[in-house]
A and B are shown apart, each in its own frame.
Chain A
Amino acid sequence: MKRLGKRLLAGPYLMWMLLFTVVPLVLLAYNAFTGADGSFTLTNVAVILDPVNGKPFLRSIGMSVLVTVICLVLSFPLALILRKCSGNKNSFIVMIFILPMWMNFMLRTLAWRLILLNNGILNQILTALGFGRVHLMNTIWAVILGTVYDYLPFMVLPIYNALVKIDNDVISAAQDLGAGQWTILRRIIIPLSIPGVVSGITMVMVPSISEFVIASMLGGGKVYLIGNVIEQAFNSGYADIHAGSGLSLSLMVLILISMVIYRLFDGEEGESSLW
């Protein structure tokens, strides 16, 4: 009886997964391996090799790696600071970081557009202070900035989670044994934070690789990423859902491979990972 009840409870979720994960995946794979006439073909998977798709693909990979590195560099010290803060102050600072996430990310990106425009807020401030204007809007740097801003919390929180779990006694013990700050960081804190870091990297890199909304909002049509290519394949008047599916599949395979590689680094328990 108990078992049946448990199974029934899982029912809605299983249905959800079946309808919105399994079925779409099957459809995607089906479309990727068939042509317009429904016959089997590999051309849709091979289109990734065409520079028209390959260049944006490489650009996306490069961009997401850069975004991830920037996020990591910003997040680790921040998470360390958060860990050191105690009690209420701590949760307040954490909240400051989560706060922007309560607002829709499209709105946040739109705000960046207003800030970065040629005569936007940033340039107005710069000229008022006597500096020259910066040309950021409609460049890849604007897209990177927007993406870092949007994904930063996804890096901070897992690392922070991993760091707060480190027992203070472990650090005290190390200090008793004569370890300096640097040694503690290198030999204790960093190794113990790896699961959080891996989780953070995955949560930033995987979604940012297929990013296209930020690119169209801040890139002014000049930053063409693989996400834009796929979106066009499904949405434009020249819609070719088969090529689009093939490209999506290539992207998923790449992500899957990198996930497997990350998993190798992920500790045995992976408690602090969020996925």
Chain B
Amino acid sequence: MVSVAGREADSVKKHNMLWKKCTAAGMAVLLTASGLLTACGTSGQKAVQRIVVFNYGDYIDRDVLKQFEKETGISVAYEEFLTPEAMYTKYKNGTIHYDLICCSDYMLDKMIREKDVRKIDMDRLKYAGNIGDTYWKLSRNFDPDNSYSVPYFWGTVGILYNPKLLDFTPDSWKDLWRKDYKDNIIMQDSVRDSFVPALRQLGYSINTTDKKQLKEAQKLLLEQKDLVQSYLVDEVRDDMANEQAAMAVIYSGEAGLARDYNEDLEFVVPKEGSDVWMDSWVIPKDGENYEGALKFLDFLCRKDIAMKNFEYVYYSTPNTAVLDEIDPEEKADDPVIFQSEDVVKNCEMFRYLGKDMEEYYNYMWKQLKAY
């Protein structure tokens, strides 16, 4: 869900006009079919208000949408995407004017830099205060004055391990290089994520643009390749739950789900620091119902609604009203989802590094895979 399929840069077939036209045509057909054509038309004042929301798959409690429609009379056209890149391609297509999009830090970084999004009147969000200061501060990584985005869920990247299969407790990225656990290690099969263990272990930033540092990290990853059982994305959770491997690099949200299936599993954010990620809502420039979007955003921050979404998605929530509500015991029970704010201090957020640098990362990764 959270940007798993590779935190990757753009270059999304902008030039391929045919592709674009076909998609546009297909989209138009779809829209007509679902009676949403008004979105493209210039029908001006609509009798029934509507907002178009674009989010990761399975990343909201659907009842929340119904409740919003009931309470405000604004109907919600809800659409899902799999990866930030897919979202970006579709959004850039411009056929559908989205009023609200939820996506991950580095992609929002790019959209904010490209001035694709509108300023949000934070003063008009009654419940924006529910979002904790820590998370507003985290957001400043990509949204320097907290004016374009509202946090939704967050988490870290760390090591999921199975104490039954290990005779030590991992606390360092270096543990993923231990020769005695050859073929017991799973790495992420996506470009930026896979470099985190190597870069942090060397003491470098996960957003480094120093090619020498990257080469060093690549060398380290090459040494590790022989020890790695597999490079996976979606299957990490299942394979860990099935005890196929002893250690795996994983997103905290996914780690929480894996722990649901296998109680033995533990999660740790290595002491060298890691990636902290944030999924936030933005209002795109070409949205047609700014007022409606504001209402929906505020609705999402409201305690009862945020609680519903938290219980459904079960990723770490930045909503302090929700956090205060939860039993301390339950929190202590699940340190993966209720991560201490200290963990974050040692973490960095992925930044969008520009097309050339992202392509360089990708090339280094390809070399590693082809070796």
Contacts and interface: CB of A to CB of B under 8 A. Distances in A.
Interface of A: 27, 36-38, 51-53, 55-56, 117-119, 135, 137-138, 220-222, 224, 228-229, 232, 236-241
Interface centre among B12, B230, B243 (most CB of A within 10 A): B230
Nearest to A31: B16
B371 A238 contact: no
A38 B16 CA distance: 10
A53 to B, nearest CB: 7
Contact of A237 (B10, B231, B232, B370): B10
Contacts of A221: 189, 230-232, 369
A239 B358 CA distance: 12
B10 to A, nearest CB: 7
A56 B183 CA distance: 22
Nearest to B230: A220
A255 to B, nearest CB: 21
Contacts of B183: 118, 135
A237 B371 contact: no
B39 to A, nearest CB: 27
Contacts of B12: 237, 239
B229 A238 contact: no
B229 A138 contact: yes
A52 B230 CA distance: 19
Given A52-B363, A56-B370, A118-B183, A36 B230 contact: no
B220 to A, nearest CB: 17
Contact of A118 (B11, B225, B244, B359): B244
Nearest to B235: A220
Given A220-B229, A222-B228, A222-B230, 17 more contacts: A52-B366, A137-B230, A138-B229, A138-B230, A220-B230, A221-B189, A221-B231, A222-B231, A228-B369, A229-B366, A229-B370, A236-B8, A237-B7, A237-B11, A238-B8, A238-B358, A239-B13
Contacts of B32: none
A236 B10 CA distance: 9
A223 to B, nearest CB: 9
B244 A224 contact: no
Contact of A119 (B7, B8, B242): B242
A217 to B, nearest CB: 10
Interface centre among A53, A119, A238 (most CB of B within 10 A): A238
B15 interface: yes
Nearest to A219: B230
Contacts of B266: none
B11 A238 contact: yes
A203 to B, nearest CB: 28
Contacts of B242: 117, 119
A52 B231 contact: no
B228 A238 contact: no
B6 interface: yes
A117 B10 CA distance: 35
A224 B362 CA distance: 15
A135 B359 CA distance: 34
B279 interface: no
B254 interface: no
Contacts of B189: 221
14 contacts: A51-B370, A53-B370, A56-B370, A118-B229, A220-B229, A220-B230, A222-B230, A222-B231, A228-B369, A237-B10, A237-B83, A238-B359, A239-B11, A239-B12
Contacts of B243: 119
B9 interface: yes
A137 B235 CA distance: 14
A266 to B, nearest CB: 35
A53 B369 CA distance: 10
A67 B301 CA distance: 57
Interface in B215-242: 225, 228-232, 242
Contacts of B109: none
A239 B16 CA distance: 11
Nearest to A242: B15
